[in-house]
Amino acid sequence: MRQRMWNLKEAEVTPESLYVRRREFLSLGAAGALGLAGSALSFSCQASAKENPSPTFSNLKRGNFPTDEKQTPIADVTTYNNYYEFGTGKGDPAENAGSFHTRPWTVALEGEIKKPEVVDIDDLIQRFPLEERIYRMRCVEAWSMVIPWVGFPLAELIKRAEPTSNAKYVAFTTKLDSGEMPGQKRNVLDWPYVEGLRIDETMHPLAILAIGLYGRTLPNQNGAPLRLVVPWKYGFKGIKAIVKIAFLKDQPATTWNKMAPGEYGFYANVNPEVDHPRWTQAKERRIGEFFKRKTLPFNGYADHVAKLYTGMDLRKSF
Amino acid sequence: MPRRLLKPGVFVACLLPLVKLGVDAARDHLSPNPIAESMNRLGFWTLTLLLASLAATPLKTFFGWTAQMRVRKMVGLFAFFYAALHFTTYLALDQAFDFSDIGADIVKRKFITIGFAAFVTLVPLAVTSTDAAVKRLGFRRWKRIHRLVYVAAVLGVVHFVWRVKADYLEPALFALTLTVLLFARFVPARGKKASPAETGKPKNAGQESLSRT
């Protein structure tokens, strides 16, 4: 298959049916030196045996904010994940999230809104026209990807909930279920995962709720059935497996910010000039590339979002 | 294991993580971020082998085992070998020899500062690992220099602790192991009176340098 990740050609993007098989036999422990020859054989035999049942979204509207940057191969997008609910290793979510149940699933809309409700995920998705958004994703760990999401503007959901004038912040909460999410059995973070945005940030057209990627249903390890995507912020703001969206008067306590307030700010806007205390944020490695590239202010979306923060000291409110 | 197979066996075992790394690299099984994965693995094996070399003496003290003393130097040198690969991967692959960035990292990032210090501390130990160096320096001075291994191990483990974002399980296990190994030094040795190192008159420098003082 591929020799060097940083030498990828477009045509080498692995079809989903292939990488799913690859994960399966890897999880059988075939990576052991003795199993290498045999697994190569079984790989070639099994690869075409079963098509992935994942449904494909049709007639997707091509959304705004397009980029012609090369998209990160789906195999990488779906096997290199920070999703501590399924383990702290980058490969853990792909290995452990397979049996996670994303149906039945409800999302609670509550707090400072006129239309609080608990809505079934499929009913919720039906309300909004889906579109594809190809966004850069910059992890706080200084690596990045380009991902074609399928989703809808967060602003549409916010508007329909009819926030009151008291609603200044929106907090998102991940499902809490250590039976389904084995990573929650260890107190690595303060579960459940909570993230938040200022209400004007939620209304920005760049912010979306994603339910898919690469034209397919969102894989569990990427945050199914519903996740936040705010591409001008570090990836940890993109909370996964959302069960609650609460409209609040006050800024919510968010998970990584509580864990290490000096390292992970509430805003977490991508900013090459404000280093993480332990590493530089001036550069990033795009997954699949060898040389690091310069990180752009607001992850390259400054023209769209910088005005949200006029008058703020972004070194203090990092 | 037959005595004559001990050294070759340990030699091959110490090479296995590197072989696995090479095989995984060739097969594109080093995660979508192969440079980070390589550094993590090489760092892990550096610490593992360094602590393994530090375990040799306590194993003798508490269990009376001696076979491991014959491979302690080799394991220690392999720890240095993996540390060098880890550091080289950082310089060449992670930073692409961008020395202004590397310098800034070493000065500004305390986990890199301390990791760099750990590596630098290992260099004189590797350089003076030969029997000839023991003779040249004299056993006592050589021994003093080689106590730096404790410093390197502490720096190395702290380097790992400071690097981690939230999951401290692995670095904590290293820290715990290192603490146990360090405290084990203070427990009186078995047959202490018979320890030739105590007499300061080693018959065979290469051999005796491996005993406990």
**Cβ-based neighbours of A20, under 8 Å, separated by 6 or more:** A52
CB A111 within 8 A of CB A252: no
Over range A174-198, report the average pLDDT: 97
Nearest to B166 among A75, A79, A84 (CB): A84
Tell whether B96 is within 8 A of chain A (Cβ). Answer: yes
Alpha-carbon distance B170 to B177, whole Å?
A: 11
Angle, to 10 degrees, between the axis of helix B34-63 and the axis of helix B72-88? 160
Query: Which chain A residues have any C-beta within 8 angstroms of a chain B C-beta?
Result: 1-3, 5, 26, 31, 33, 36, 72-73, 75-76, 79-80, 84, 88, 90-91, 141, 143, 186, 188-189, 259, 275, 278-280, 283, 285, 287-288, 290-292
A104 prior amide bond cis, ω within 30: yes
Residue A26 has pLDDT above 50, yes or no: no
Cβ distance B163 to A278 less than 8 Å, yes or no, reads yes
The pLDDT score that the predictor gives to residue A2 is 42
pLDDT tier, A63 (very low <50, low <70, confident <90, very high otherwise)? confident
How many C-alpha atoms does B46 have within 13 Å on its Cβ side? Answer: 28
Residue A131 has pLDDT above 80, yes or no: yes
Residue found by looking up tokens 């999302």 in the block: A107
CB A107 within 8 A of CB A226: yes
Residue B194 has pLDDT above 50, yes or no: no
Dump pLDDT digits (tens) for B114-165. 999 999 999 999 999 999 999 999 999 999 999 999 999 999 999 999 999 9
Alpha-carbon distance B4 to A312, whole Å?
A: 71
DSSP state letters, A271-300: -TTS-BTTB--SEEEETT-SS-EEPPGGGG
Cβ distance B32 to A80 less than 8 Å, yes or no, reads yes
Nearest to B162 among A91, A278, A291 (CB): A278
**Closest alpha carbon to B74 in B9, B3, B1:** B9
Q: How far apart are the first and last CA of chain B?
A: 28
Q: Tell me, what's the ipTM?
A: 0.83
Of chain A, the percentage scoring pLDDT greater than 70 comes to 83
**Cβ-based neighbours of A173, under 8 Å, separated by 6 or more:** A192, A193, A194, A239, A242, A243, A244, A245, A246
Which residues from B are below 8 Å from A5, CB to CB? 28, 32-34
CB A151 within 8 A of CB A131: yes
Q: Determine the distance in angstroms separating the CA of B110 from the nearest CA of chain A, rounded to an integer.
A: 7
Which residues from B are below 8 Å from A80, CB to CB? 31-33
pLDDT tier, B106 (very low <50, low <70, confident <90, very high otherwise)? very high
Decide: residue B204, CB within 10 A, 0-12 exposed, 13-18 middle, 19+ buried: exposed
**Closest alpha carbon to A281 in A116, A139, A76:** A139
Which residues from B are below 8 Å from A84, CB to CB? 166-167
**Closest alpha carbon to A1 in A21, A52, A95:** A21
**Closest alpha carbon to A272 in A246, A254, A248, A293:** A293
**Tokens representing residue B40 in the block:** 């993590």
Detail the DSSP E strand segments found in B72-147. Answer: none
Which residues lie across from B206 on neighbouring strands?
A: none
The pLDDT score that the predictor gives to residue A54 is 59
pLDDT tier, A5 (very low <50, low <70, confident <90, very high otherwise)? very low
Tell whether B28 is within 8 A of chain A (Cβ). Answer: yes
Dump pLDDT digits (tens) for B28-86. 999 999 999 999 999 999 999 999 999 999 999 999 999 999 999 999 999 999 999 99
A205 prior amide bond cis, ω within 30: no
Give, in order, the Cα–Cα distances in Å from A225 to each of A101, A105, A120, B89. Answer: 9, 8, 11, 38
Q: Which helix (H) or strand (E) holds A133?
A: strand A131-138
**Position with higher pLDDT, A94 vs A30:** A94
B124 prior amide bond cis, ω within 30: no
Residue found by looking up tokens 């009376």 in the block: B64
**Position with higher pLDDT, B213 vs A202:** A202
The pLDDT score that the predictor gives to residue B211 is 41
Cβ distance A143 to B36 less than 8 Å, yes or no, reads yes
What is the number of CB-based contacts under 8 A between chain A and chain B?
A: 69
What CATH number labels A54-309?
3.90.420.10
CB B32 within 8 A of CB A75: yes
Which residues from B are below 8 Å from A79, CB to CB? 31-32
The pLDDT score that the predictor gives to residue B4 is 87
Which residues from A are below 8 Å from B27, CB to CB? 1, 36
User: Whole-model pTM?
Assistant: 0.84
DSSP code at position B189: P
Which residues from A are below 8 Å from B38, CB to CB? none
